[in-house]
Amino acid sequence: MNNLQNKSALITGASSGIGKAMALSLCQKGCELYLVARREDRLKQVQEEILALNPQSKVHLIASDVNATDLSKKIAQTSNEKIDILINNAGLALGREKVEASKLADWDAMISTNITANFKLVHLVLPWMLKNGAGDIINLCSVAGHYTYSGGAVYCATKHAIKAFTRVLREETCGKNIRVMQISPGMVDTEFSSVRFKGDMKSADAVYANMTPLHGEDIARMMTFMLEQPRHVVIDEIITMPTDQGSPTTISRKST
């Protein structure tokens, strides 16, 4: 198995959900963590939980939006340009309106966060990985990168873009000891839906009503499995959904 002890891992969107769960998972594997998220108070809470699990953990907090122009500089300075693992997790969906009724500001936010920021982080750390002779990149995609659904045009488009970018990156880094992987979850009970519905908790809670969704810990467990495979093994992609989900729009809900 690939030993993660003392590997440096950069995780975006690390203050909650999948990012937080991955930070907690990798701290127990002995990784040095570089955690990026907008909410500094939440990052500090994650740091406290990490140190409670593993008091020897090295945790570096970078309180920043992934779209911030100075993020690359902060990461380079904090990490001394050495990142072994990139978990490109930050992303969001906004709204469920059809194209003609959707808001251009929501489009811009999804494109900049899900596509541009994701790609820029790879552009930042990949040269460091190539210089060091090894590296692992996991891009968080979605079943929306494989299927489409009404009311999700731009979100689905961003996830299709991530899938295409990841595939090309696999080709370009082949033979260079860089493992490029992606995971494409279905319904995961995180802050995703509350963000999508802009704080409308009634709508957000209805997404997961009367069914059992995945949780951040489920996705973190799978990503850790991907990273721990021997270096000659690449788990190219994991597509995962809850048992109660058959497709983005096919959900089995228990009667109340």
Residue 46 in any domain: the answer is yes
Tell me the percentage of the chain whose pLDDT exceeds 90: 98
Q: What pLDDT score does 1 carry?
A: 87
Model pTM above 0.75:
yes
Residue 40 in any domain: the answer is yes
pLDDT value at 84 more than 90: yes
> CATH number of the domain that 72 lies in?
3.40.50.720
Q: pLDDT band at 223, cuts 50/70/90?
A: very high
pLDDT value at 47 more than 80: yes
Q: What's the CA gap between 115 and 106, in Å, rounded?
A: 13
How does the average pLDDT of the chain come out, rounded? 97
Catalytic machinery residues = 155, 159
Q: pLDDT band at 144, cuts 50/70/90?
A: very high
The answer to whether the beta carbons of residues 132 and 84 sit under 8 Å apart is yes
Host domain of residue 52: 8-251
pLDDT value at 142 more than 90: yes
Q: How many domains does the structure of the chain reveal?
A: 1
Residue 177 in any domain: the answer is yes
Identify how many contiguous H helices and E strands the chain contains and give both numbers: 9, 9
* Three-state SS sequence of 141-168: CCHHHCCCCCCCHHHHHHHHHHHHHHHH
Closest CA relative to residue 144, chosen from 132, 135, 154: 154
Q: What pLDDT score does 39 carry?
A: 95
pLDDT value at 256 more than 80: no
pLDDT, one tens digit per residue, over 170-205 is 999 999 999 999 999 999 999 999 999 999 999 999
Question: What's the maximum distance between 2 C-alpha atoms anywhere in the chain?
Answer: 57
Residue 97 in any domain: the answer is yes
Dihedral of CA atoms 222, 225, 229, 233 in degrees, nearest 10, equals: -10
Residue 3 in any domain: the answer is no
Residue 54 in any domain: the answer is yes
User: Taking CA 188 as the corner, what is the angle to CA 185 and CA 190, rounded to the nearest 5 degrees?
Assistant: 135
Residue 86 in any domain: the answer is yes
Residue 1 in any domain: the answer is no
Q: Please give the backbone phi and psi of residue 121, each rounded to the nearest 5 degrees, phi first.
A: -65, -40
Average pLDDT over residues 54-63: 96
Quote the DSSP letter at residue 17.
H
